[in-house]
Amino acid sequence: MAILANKNSKIVVQGITGKTGSFHADLSLKLGTNIVAGVSPGKGGQRHLGVPVFDTLEAAKAATGPLDATVIFVPAPLALEAIAEALDAKIPLIIVITEGIPVRDMVSAKKLLAGHESRMIGPNCPGLLVPGECRLGIIPGKITPPGSIGIVSRSGTLTYEAARQIAQAGLGVSTVVGIGGDPVIGTDFCQILDLFHQDPATQAVLMIGEIGGSMEQDAAAHWSGELGRAKPLFGLIAGKTAPKGKRMGHAGAIMEAESDSAASKAQVLKNRGVVTIDELTQIGQTVLERLGKTPAAVG
C-alpha cells in the first residue's frame, strides 16, 4: 500500500506541453504512472507523449471520467488560476510543482482550498513518489525500491539523498512526499504523518525539516500525543550552520528566533521521543539500526 496515490490512480498534468511538464510527464509515464490526460489551453484535441490534451480540466474530466490527482507545472503567474481550476473540477489531490508563486497568490489559494475537500501538496515541491507504482512530480523514480519507510520532507534535494541512503541500507520506501518549503503551503507535516500512521504498509517515518517556523515542533507534538508513538518517527533538521535572519534555499527557511534554529528544533524533537538524526550521512544507518533489522531481513 501507499498514501495519496498508487498505480491505479488516474492522473492529469496541467502544463503537459511545456518544457518542464513534458520532460517530467515523459519520465513518469515510462515508470508506469497512469497519466490519462494533459491540459494546455489552446492545444486541446492534440496528443502529447501519447496522452490526449484538453483545453480545460473539465473537458479532460468529461472525456476520461473522475480524476484522482493533478500535477501542476504551469508558470508561476498562472499557478493560482490552475489551482482554482483544479478545485472547481473537484480533483481530490492537487500537487503544485511550480516555484516562485507569490505569497499573496498562495494565501488566496489556501482560502479557496478551505471550501473544498481537495488536498494540495506544495507549491515549490518535488511532489510524490510511490516506488514501483507512480511518480507525481520530479522525484527520481528509481532512487529507492518499495518498502516500509515513509518519507516526508520540506527539502527536495535532501529527500532524494534520504531515499538513496535508505535504499543503500537495504530498506525500501512506502511513499515519498515533498511538501515544499515556501512560507504558505497546502499540506503540513502533521497531515502527512496522519496518513502514514493509517497506512499498514508504513512501519516507520522519516521527517526532514528545516530552520524557520514551528512545523517540525508541531509535528513532533502531534506524533507523540495524538498518535501515541504508534510507529517510530525519525527526524533530521537541515540548516545547522544558518545564521539568524538569513534565508537558506527555501523562502520559508529563515531563522528569525532561536526557537527556529536547527539545534532548538532537534532538541524539541528529542524531548518528544523522535529519533533525531544529527548528520545527513547517518540517515540510512540510523534507521536500519533503530529498527533492529539487517538488509537480509527486510522485504
φ/ψ of residue 176, rounded to 5: -110, 130
Contact yes or no for 126/102 (Cβ under 8 A): no
Contact yes or no for 232/202 (Cβ under 8 A): no
Rg (CA), the chain: 19
The runs of H, that is alpha helices, within 169-261 are: 189-198, 215-225
Report the candidate in 115, 111, 39, 23 with the shortest Cα–Cα distance to residue 82: 39
295 dihedral zone (left: phi>0; alpha: psi -120 to 50; beta): alpha
In sequence order, what are the residues at sequence separation of 6 or more whose Cβ sits closer than 8 angstroms to the Cβ of residue 267?
none
Examine the residue annotation and report whether 222 is marked as an active-site residue of this protein: no
CA distance 173 to 189: 17
CA distance 178 to 129: 9
CA distance 26 to 280: 31
- List 24, 197, 222, 250, catalytic entry: 250
CA distance 56 to 105: 21
Report the candidate in 149, 146, 152 with the shortest Cα–Cα distance to residue 192: 152
Is 88 in a helix, a strand, or coil?
A: helix
- Catalytic residue positions, numbered: 250
